[in-house]
Structure 1
Amino acid sequence: MKHLGRTLLYGTVGVFFSVSALAAETTLRVSTWLPPTNPQNETVWPTWAKWVEEATEGRVNVIIEDYNGHPRTLFTAVEDGVVDASFSVNAYLSGRFMLPGIAEIPGEVADAESGSVALWRVYKEYFEPANEYEGLHVLGMFVHGPGQLHTRFPVTSMSDLKSKKMRVGGGLVNALAERMEVSPVSAPAPKSYEMMQQGVVDGTFLPPLDQKFLRIHEVSSQLTLFPKGLYTTAFTIFMNPDVFAQLSAEDRNAIMEVSGEKLSRLAGAAWGTADEDGIAEAAKNKVNIVRVGENDPLAQELNKLSRGLDQKWMESVAERKVNAAAALQRFRAIVAEEQK
């Protein structure tokens, strides 16, 4: 049996190794970096692992390992063969993965599943030839549900955010934060709890699910929900290309049959559905939940601040030599079709 990558089992999935890996010809080690209850770890990875094992008739086994470093280093860890596969936020590596930012334009995605499917299809149709993922084999792409405001202070107008210290994760949300005149503090999502608890920031931009999964309900008093959120974050699921190439053609085809759009849809649906769990957790813990209506002044202020960020994304990818305008039109069409 081939063992690929490091040996470090992750939580409850150790049983996968003891039962399945012994019979497998190849074991793929996948590193993850969010809490066990996060939908990526509770639903996406275990489901994909099951799909891979079934599709390869048991020849390829998948185990999950915990990763404690900054999630941006996972791109390099997979490229260097330290681990076999993983996922991370594209914007954590500023300047490298610019094209998936199409899914981060404010107001474009109200549903994580449709946004994830659209991102995958547009990547395959328009972005793949730009070779942004050189050194990685892309398995899927997805977005979380619309990011919202989690704060320790009420937000009744955009002026309430002025000069407030807000944790941001990178990408187009940083441009929006600049227009909001907040004081942005860049950090990965799991740092939000600690930073809010210690008073380093006054709030964070995250999807509602993290009221539960990152326990933001313990450090915030307000959850402000905009109709289409403030932004979305684009993630990529990737694998070491040499590891992928070592598999038989039959197993490579089998893995891609359960990856690509199928995996992207799974991830988007899992993350999107979990937002309701986060909102319920916030309500249970007496976090004040404000649902902003489409015609509310606060929503209108956000729309005004967001204006032109689609053009900003197109300008940012001008050197990638892709038809950004056509890609954006296609992205919007897929989202609209998927949301019917």
Structure 2
Amino acid sequence: MMNFKKSLLCVTAGAVLSLSATAAETTLRVATWLPPTNPQNETVWPIWAKWVEEATEGRVEVIVENYTGHPKTIFDAVEDGVYDVGFSVNAYLPGRFSLTSVAEIPGEITDAETGSVALWRTYKNYFESAGEYDGLQLLALFVHGPGQLHTKFPVNSLDDLKGKKMRVGGGLINDLAERLEVTPVAAPAPKSYEMMQQGVVDGTFLPVQEQKFLRLSEISSDLTLFPRGLYTTAFSVVMNVDTFESLSKKDQDAIISVSGEKLSRLAGAAWGKADENGILEAKSNGVNVVFLAEDDQRVKDLNKLAKGIDQLWMDSVKDRDVDVEAGLAAFRQYVKDINSEK
């Protein structure tokens, strides 16, 4: 099922985790780009692999391999058949997966699990017909926990951010960064440690978990936590279409049964729980952790600055042949419904 090019690249990639010791008819090679301790590698992939192997009665196994290129190229690597499955940040490819940025609007979600399930439901019910994933088999959508401020300086006022160099990852956080009057420096998340250590940036926008998993607690002096964060980031889990179609209908259905909303919820819950570990790591390393209340002036000022970003998003996707206004309203309702179920 694998061509020569794919076989060669997979051999040289260096497997970091094999999740099945039994012989299988099909092996799915998954590209991952974050540290082994990241919840995607520590929790999500092992559980999903187990689900896949059980659902297919051992006919399909999953092997996770380290991807050393820029994470934005994973989508192409999967589409071209270099890997069977992968995941990455949607905003790393501006303009391709724009509809999923509905989840990135500041202040929309309360936690990663809620946001992930709401995003999947919104996509399936309102956005799928736009064809943004043509050429890929979409398996799941998820978001990380609310993005917060990891800095080398205290943030006593939003004015303290003006002129500061801040690492950004793309998406609607770029619009918010502009309103905060920071100097944005685009880079993937794993570059944050190096850039802060070397003084290339004064801080980064990331979820709290990265105090531990990207070791930001070693180089941050302050961690400022807004009640709903400043933003979040949408991720896609995708599969090569030819690989998927080469499976029997029975195994296709089995994989779909353990993906979709189920996998989206798993990923969101795992990434969200990891934020708790990030706070503990920050405190243990002496980082000044500041929890802001809704009535804090910094929160009020942020809410004012973020006003209208939802319209910016709608304007950016008006060329899609879907009802984006209805999709946004549905996303917000899904967030409320999911929270009420907890």
TM interval, shorter chain, is: over 0.9
How far apart in 2 are the matches of 1:10 and 1:106?
A: 37
Residues paired across the two proteins, number: 334
Aligned-pair distance for 1:96? 1.1
What runs of 5+ residues in structure 2 fail to find an aligned partner?
Answer: none
Amino acid at match of 2:15: Y
Aligned-pair distance for 1:110? 1.4
How far apart in 2 are the matches of 1:3 and 1:51?
A: 23
Per the alignment, residue 322 of structure 1 pairs with: 322
Per the alignment, residue 97 of structure 2 pairs with: 97
Aligned-pair distance for 1:9? 4.5
Tell me if 1:171 matches 2:176.
no
Per the alignment, residue 115 of structure 1 pairs with: 115
Tell me if 1:145 matches 2:150.
no
Amino acid at match of 1:333: Q
Amino acid at match of 1:268: G
How far apart in 1 are the matches of 2:334 and 2:15?
A: 36
Aligned-pair distance for 1:3? 5.5
Per the alignment, residue 182 of structure 2 pairs with: 182
Q: Secondary structure at the match of 1:286?
A: coil
How far apart in 2 are the matches of 1:286 and 1:3?
A: 50
Tell me if 1:221 matches 2:226.
no
Per the alignment, residue 206 of structure 2 pairs with: 206
Amino acid at match of 2:198: Q
How far apart in 1 are the matches of 2:231 and 2:297?
A: 18
Aligned-pair distance for 1:10? 2.9
Q: Secondary structure at the match of 2:125?
A: helix
How far apart in 2 are the matches of 1:213 and 1:74?
A: 21
Give identity over the alignment, percent.
66
Amino acid at match of 1:321: D
Preserved contact between residue 91 and residue 171 of structure 1 (Cα < 8 Å): yes
Per the alignment, residue 158 of structure 1 pairs with: 158
Q: For each residue in 1:202-245, what CA deviation from the matched residue of structure 2 results, as whole angstroms up to 9, or x when unmatched? A: 00000000000000001110000000000000000000001000
Q: Pairwise mapping of residues 173-322 of structure 1 onto structure 2 (< 5 A)?
A: 173-322=173-322
Calculate the aligned-residue CA RMSD, in Å.
1.0
TM-score (norm 1): 0.97
Tell me if 1:81 matches 2:81.
yes
Aligned-pair distance for 1:133? 1.0
**Most deviating of 121-130 and 264-273:** 121-130
Q: Pairwise mapping of residues 37-52 of structure 1 onto structure 2 (< 5 A)?
A: 37-52=37-52
Q: Secondary structure at the match of 2:275?
A: helix
Preserved contact between residue 91 and residue 169 of structure 1 (Cα < 8 Å): yes
How far apart in 2 are the matches of 1:336 and 1:282?
A: 31
> Displaced runs of 4+ in structure 1, greater than 6 A?
none
Q: For each residue in 1:119-159, what CA deviation from the matched residue of structure 2 results, as whole angstroms up to 9, or x when unmatched? A: 00111111111011111110000000000000000001111
Q: For each residue in 1:19-63, what CA deviation from the matched residue of structure 2 results, as whole angstroms up to 9, or x when unmatched? A: 12xx20000000100000000000000100000000000000000
What runs of 5+ residues in structure 1 fail to find an aligned partner?
Answer: none
How far apart in 2 are the matches of 1:238 and 1:45?
A: 13
Q: For each residue in 1:40-93, what CA deviation from the matched residue of structure 2 results, as whole angstroms up to 9, or x when unmatched? A: 000000100000000000000000000010000001000110111100000000
Q: Secondary structure at the match of 2:319?
A: helix
